[in-house]
Chain A
Amino acid sequence: MAASVAACSGPQRVLDPAGPQAEHIARLATFLFVTAGIVCAIVFAALALSVQNGRRRADRGEAPDETPDGERRRGRAIGLAAAATTVVLFVYLVAAVRTGRALAWTAEGGPTERAGPPGAPPGLPPERGPFPGGAPLTVEVTGRQWWWEMKYDDPTPSRMLTTANELHIPVGRPVRIVTQSYDVIHSFWVPKLHGKQDMIPGYKNVLWLRADRPGVYRGQCAEYCGHQHAHMAFDVIAESPAEFARWYESQLAPSAPPTDSSAQHGQTVFMSNACIMCHAIGGTPAASRVGPDLTHLASRRTLAAGTLPNTRGHLAGWIVDPQGIKPGARMPSNQLTPDDLNALLDYLRSLK
């Protein structure tokens, strides 16, 4: 019971919109609930009356009514019911299409943005305006088994930002999410902000959203993508434009070199173990893009794509035994001595 109530305040509740897209959809949902309720009530009432009438005839031992008059009356009633049904369906269609249109400025990139034929460079249609809330922010999100790569677009190439599993956006500004997939079909879904868009290899799919109030909005992969589909989530953190700018600048900076000896040792551990094979840390030789970028790992709320809170203990558990937490994940177990592990943790926890 308490859990159901919790569901009413759950982090992925569809009916708790934080932006215009989710707002429009929530309104449509409410309208359809009411309509469906009325239709069901009418049909069930008709069913109950028919049952009652038929039963009464049986109890009284009367013959069934097959008189021409009776059949004509019934025919008319059914015709009326069919006409009423048609009206209801039409109203429904209008509501659905209108809501779709209301989302339309948010789906400018709607027609398939193809990645192009093999070998051809990917092309995206030009952005169009005017956009409510100012110029849009573009983020390319790539779904990978089982994490999210986020790449912020910027006219200045040196100001493009690559991060993982956490999306910061400024409140009140439209965000253009360009989704794609590195491997299999995933789906980008942040219920409190918008519906989902599937991330299909070979295609780019565009999704517009805007957060109208600050908060943390959880997203989760919504297309079965293999073993750890259940543990492929991410956070969208909507913050004031000033806070967002601060965050962006700090993320752009390369990692600060470790100051204390333990962290320095930890960096050595990182560079001389399997870690460097998959993870990049800006400002160091580690530049692999196989796994999530760890340059600012300590600034994130969660680990392992929304699976664990980002604490020292959980990080330790994840490094040593990822298969125990996310069986099938691409990260191998790492056997480290306690000293090495502690040093590594010191280093990683310093990557703010």
Chain B
Amino acid sequence: MSDEGRGTRDEPDSVAVLDAPGAPPALPEAQEETVHDRLERVWRDEPGFWGWVTSVNHKRIALRYIITAFVFFILGGIEAAMMRAQLARPENGLIGPDLYNQLFTVHGSTMMFLFAVPIVEAMGLYFVPLMIGTRNVAFPRLNAYGYWTYLIGGALLYVALFTNTGPDQGWFSYVPLAGPEYAPGKRVDVWAQMVTFTEIAAIVGGIEIIVTTFKQRAPGMSLNRVPLFVWAMVVMSFMVLFAMPWVATASTLFLAMDRLIGTHFFNVAEGGDALLWQHLFWFFGHPEVYIIFIPALGMVSSIVATFTSRPVFGYTAMTLSLVATGFLSFGLWVHHMFATPLPQLGLSFFTASSAMITLPTGVQIFCWLATIWAGRARFATPLLFVVGFVVLFVFGGMTGLMLAAVPLDLQITDTFFVPGHIHYVLLGGMVFPLFGAFYYWFPKITGRMLSDRAGKVQFWFLFAGVNVAFFPMLMLGFAGMPRRVYTYLPEMGWGGLNFTATLGAALIALGVVIFLANVAWALRNGRLAGADPWGGDTLEWATSSPPPDYNFAHIPIVRGRAALWAAGHELPVVTGLREDRREVLVTTMLDAMPDSRHEAPEPTVGPLLAALATGVAFTVGIFTVWGFFIGGLLLYPALLVWAWPRGKKPREHEVIEVPE
């Protein structure tokens, strides 16, 4: 066991230690073994396929999300590669307009709905319960339901793409182009219902994270001791609750119904309004990108703290910045509509709000810089990705300010400047922290270390690739190239920049391949990690790698903000939770005082059945409105399987406390 990558915090190697006099007696080693065994028996899944299908283990479900989302990332990347191949030369005949239109639509939809939100939410679903010291999320069965629903939505989109029914009106699907008159067939309906599935999953995940964080924190973890990553996930989850319904309603209730049963929400001839769609979509769409970005800010905080061996500077400013960013992001949406016939007078307000949101993010960056300055900085791969993030995101943010100025926006919106901007901020602002987080947390998830050297090589490929691919796009915007064009004339002079961008895409692809190779190698041959290879400050490093099904043999007690660094040599823990049934500790919201013991639900196939019923509702509903009724009818029995009392023997030791 080498010492590379370790912090200064000592790694003791015995399990049970006798206490100072006066404290309750420590548990002898023989009994400690049995605790693990008992908890293992109670918390494990059934073996084999049935266990896999009925699992309600948050780590298992989160890992499914992460892997599935990464597969979608690769599929989306392939779509991007195909588009770049087509655009590399003017009047290229590689891909015709119909396929190209499906590609850019499915690429955007995949990345936004099937990759970005699910993967950051899943990092939360995996690590929030660990970081706050609990055993599972608040609603384990609902969590399982969320994943299956998401999977069905993603499958729907790709079955459609592979059968030439892929949506082709852009990932934000403007009407009337996406309406029944100009988009015949079922392509747009597929898009609308895919959004429904992913929106349900996102909302489910959001509810999980909020309730788990509010009510299941370890004793002593008052709100001002909650790790910054958890704060970020909570802010993101609230944003999900308030933003997702807008796109779901607009797509499923309004657009899909205009197409299916003849409603007139967007039909100008009967009093409907094309701008209504834009308002509804972008009221979701702008917070959506911050939903994607804010968890990444949390990941950066986790990484910076661990790799500088000190807490991130300015905890209060950091949390207030997260909350402010979340709030402000709901006030920017009109900056996507500057070229529409909205009253000019109000537009500058949105320039101001778009500028204002720079401030809290800027404060966060200043605090990280201060932390690195004052810390003992180890530049392992995670911290390298953080540095890359700062460079790319700040630059991308500048291009955002250019777009937020109304007069300039009128020139560069709807040109390649926009994909240039969004990829700088999305790749730089989310994917870079995400890869950093992968290198940081892979040891915890799998028990093995990724190769740090390969990580650094990967970083440089990605960093170069992003710049080579997307800086030319910024220039292409100023050269007058509109977006969403499947080809362009040679005399426009756009060929060289497009070719360069395609090269950059190839570099990015190589970077991703290096990552996959690293993962494949590390799963077999990576160095064993142990519980705390980096010397981290948060509670996930207090348990084994990978964590057992029950996360912690005993719930930890938290004495300070950086829970592990504040704990010192021994971790104070809670005793008294039952070991013969699944029990989690519920605490009060503000101060995390122990409040009750909650029986956590056992595995069941109900969530899968409910997801299938939902799948029937929204898939058959593409073709006939009766689909919703059929799906609803199937949903009820599925919910009975989910929630009907199983009739175990009467519960002993149930302690009921009625309200006063």
Contact = CB atoms under 8 A, between A and B. Distances in A.
Q: Judge A-B direct contact (beta carbons within 8 Å).
A: yes
B365 A43 contact: yes
Nearest to B360: A82
A19 interface: no
B417 to A, nearest CB: 9
Contact size range, A: 35 or more
Interface in B452-485: 475-485
Interface in B367-399: 367, 369-370, 372-379, 387, 390-391, 394-395, 398-399
A330 interface: no
B314 A89 contact: no
A78 to B, nearest CB: 4
A285 interface: no
Nearest to B317: A78
B496 A3 contact: yes
Contact of A82 (B177, B359, B493): B359
Nearest to B491: A11
B233 to A, nearest CB: 24
Given A54-B375, A201-B268, A78 B484 contact: no
A152 interface: no
Interface stretch (B122-130, B401-409, B615-623, B625-633): B401-409
Interface string A1-15: 111111111111111
Contacts, number: 295
A58 interface: yes
B493 to A, nearest CB: 3
B391 A44 contact: yes
Interface in B150-197: 169-170, 174, 176-177, 181-182
Given A50-B369, A71-B313, A75-B314, A7 B493 contact: yes
Determine which residue in B341, B351, B491 has the highest number of CB atoms from chain A within 10 A of its CB, and name it: B341
Contacts of B391: 44, 47
A223 B414 contact: yes
Interface stretch (B23-31, B76-84, B270-278, B503-511): B270-278
B174 A85 contact: no
Contacts of B495: 3
A92 B411 contact: no
A8 B308 CA distance: 46
Interface in B66-124: 96-98, 101
Contacts of A200: 274-275, 340-341
A297 interface: no
Interface stretch (A125-133, A168-176, A188-196, A312-320): A188-196
Contacts of A194: 410
Contact of A74 (B174, B370, B478, B497): B370
Given A10-B494, A96-B351, A187-B414, A198 B482 contact: no
A225 B408 contact: no
B52 interface: no
Nearest to B374: A65
A74 B374 contact: yes
Given A92-B405, A220-B480, A112 B494 contact: no
Interface of B: 96-98, 101, 169-170, 174, 176-177, 181-182, 268-271, 273-275, 308-311, 313-314, 317, 339-345, 347-348, 351-352, 355-356, 358-359, 362-363, 365-367, 369-370, 372-379, 387, 390-391, 394-395, 398-399, 401-402, 404-415, 475-489, 491-497, 499-500
Interface of A: 1-15, 22, 24-25, 28-29, 32, 36, 39-40, 43-44, 46-47, 49-51, 53-55, 57-58, 62-66, 70-71, 74-75, 77-78, 81-82, 85-86, 89, 92-93, 95-97, 99-100, 103-104, 107, 110-113, 117-118, 145, 183-185, 187, 189, 191, 194-198, 200-205, 218, 220-230, 307, 327-328
17 contacts: A7-B475, A7-B476, A10-B493, A25-B411, A32-B408, A51-B387, A53-B374, A75-B313, A82-B359, A96-B348, A96-B404, A96-B407, A118-B268, A195-B408, A196-B411, A203-B274, A223-B414
Given A64-B375, A78-B363, 16 more contacts: A11-B492, A12-B481, A36-B401, A40-B398, A47-B369, A51-B379, A96-B351, A100-B406, A100-B407, A112-B341, A195-B409, A198-B340, A200-B340, A201-B176, A224-B169, A228-B97
